[in-house]
Amino acid sequence: MEQAVAECAGLLGAVAEREWEGVRAGRLEWDCRETAVHIAGCLLAYAGQLAGPEQDGYSPFELSMEETSGNADVLRVIGTTGALLAAAIRTAPRHVRAFHPYPFRSANREGFAAMGVVEVLLHTHDIAEGLGVSYEPAPELCDFVLGRIFPHVQPGPAPWPTLLWATGRGELEGRTPLTEWRWNNNLVIDAERITLQGVTPAAATDLSTVGDGGFEWIEGGPVEGTRVGAGLMYKQYEDGVHRPEWTMYVLVRREDERAIGAMGFHGVPDGAGRVEVGYDLVDGARGHGYATEALRALTGWALDRPEVRTVVANVERGNTPSQNVLARAGFTQVAEDPEHLTYELRVPGEG
């Protein structure tokens, strides 16, 4: 956050003496002055949402500049509100989520950080374009944003042109220009004792190697199956076939906010409405019913979607505990081969 704001202030500070009012900011309907005030307002709003934390809507306040303030004053306020958001991000516990409408009505501290950074990057670009000055932010800032709130966007040859394309501000070879876009914060599905927290591409990259994905794990985690699944998810992201909801979820225990395993889909539902699910737990979390509880929550969410008719799971013949989890979650065995048993759970009334 601090780096994005510093780059914005450095670039626009050099042209603060020029006339911003009445000069259209890039493709926006706002002028450059309005756009700069909008940046400050967004940073303040996000800080308020996360610090609250607000759960049901936007906190009912807005930023107002004094009538006599100049362009340099607006940049000072961008610095101040950026610092407020950075402080809110640093002090918010990892599990805290606050209201934001797109697309699942909440975001965690990483989501608010990414939203704040992208507001600064994009609108600095808009103002710079309006004033006729060159601007290209640090690649790591663009990577940070793309890997957290643009999971549906296939990586491009360079992060800044990809972000501009993804937000309707530029063209990218081989891709249709966009006229509408939204970012995507990760989905969280609630169960009784745990939450299923959607894994972002950035977290998947970390989990697939030796990292923790930003989660605090119980001893022994994450297990190898989680790392393999994270690697497969990131490959889907690189190939442009990853869809945020049909992803891996880390299972986080409410009592201590520690991760105990992972569960998720192998891909999007097929044309027949079938989607496959898989899961694993850290050894220390087994035998407490967590997998059953998580599977019921995840399959319940999936079967409520109009594009899903059947959830499928394939289990090794010798994996009796996993077979018992499926049975307790309502699955029925429907097929077998020499190595695996296939279970299904259908939309009620279609079985």
Count Cβ atoms within 10 A of the Cβ of residue 54 and give its class: 0-12 exposed, 13-18 middle, 19 or more buried. Answer: middle
In the chain, which residues fall in CATH 3.40.630.30?
A: 188-346
- Whether the CB-CB separation of 102 and 185 falls below 8 Å is answered with yes
**CATH 1.20.120.450: does it fit domain 2-166?**
yes
- What is the per-residue pLDDT across 74-91, written as a single tens digit (0 to 9) for each? 999 999 999 999 999 999
CB atoms within 10 A of CB 350: 9
Mean pLDDT of 292-309: 97
CA–CA dist 318, 251 (Å, integer): 24
Mean pLDDT of 187-208: 97
Confidence of residue 195 (pLDDT cuts 50, 70, 90): very high
In the chain, which residues fall in CATH 1.20.120.450?
A: 2-166
Q: How far is CA 302 from CA 199, 272, 291, 345, in A?
A: 17, 14, 16, 11
Mean pLDDT of 326-339: 95
Q: What percent of the chain has pLDDT over 90?
A: 98
Mean pLDDT of 337-342: 94
The tokens of 193 are what?
A: 């004792």
- Whether the CB-CB separation of 16 and 77 falls below 8 Å is answered with no
Mean pLDDT of 134-151: 98
Confidence of residue 348 (pLDDT cuts 50, 70, 90): confident
* Domain range 188-346, CATH architecture: 3-Layer(aba) Sandwich (3.40)
Closest to 168 (Cα-Cα) out of 153, 158, 186: 153
pLDDT at 351: 57
- What is the per-residue pLDDT across 65-74, written as a single tens digit (0 to 9) for each? 999 999 999 9
HSE-up (13 A, CA, CB side) for residue 146:
25
CA–CA dist 185, 310 (Å, integer): 26
Identify the sign of the CA torsion 281, 216, 222, 203.
Answer: positive
The tokens of 31 are what?
A: 């002028």
Mean pLDDT of 261-271: 96
pTM metric for this prediction: 0.95
CA–CA dist 183, 102 (Å, integer): 7
Bridge partners, residue 340, by sequence: 316
- What is the per-residue pLDDT across 215-260, written as a single tens digit (0 to 9) for each? 999 999 999 999 999 999 999 999 999 999 999 999 999 999 999 9
- What is the per-residue pLDDT across 143-159, written as a single tens digit (0 to 9) for each? 999 999 999 999 999 99
CA–CA dist 279, 294 (Å, integer): 9
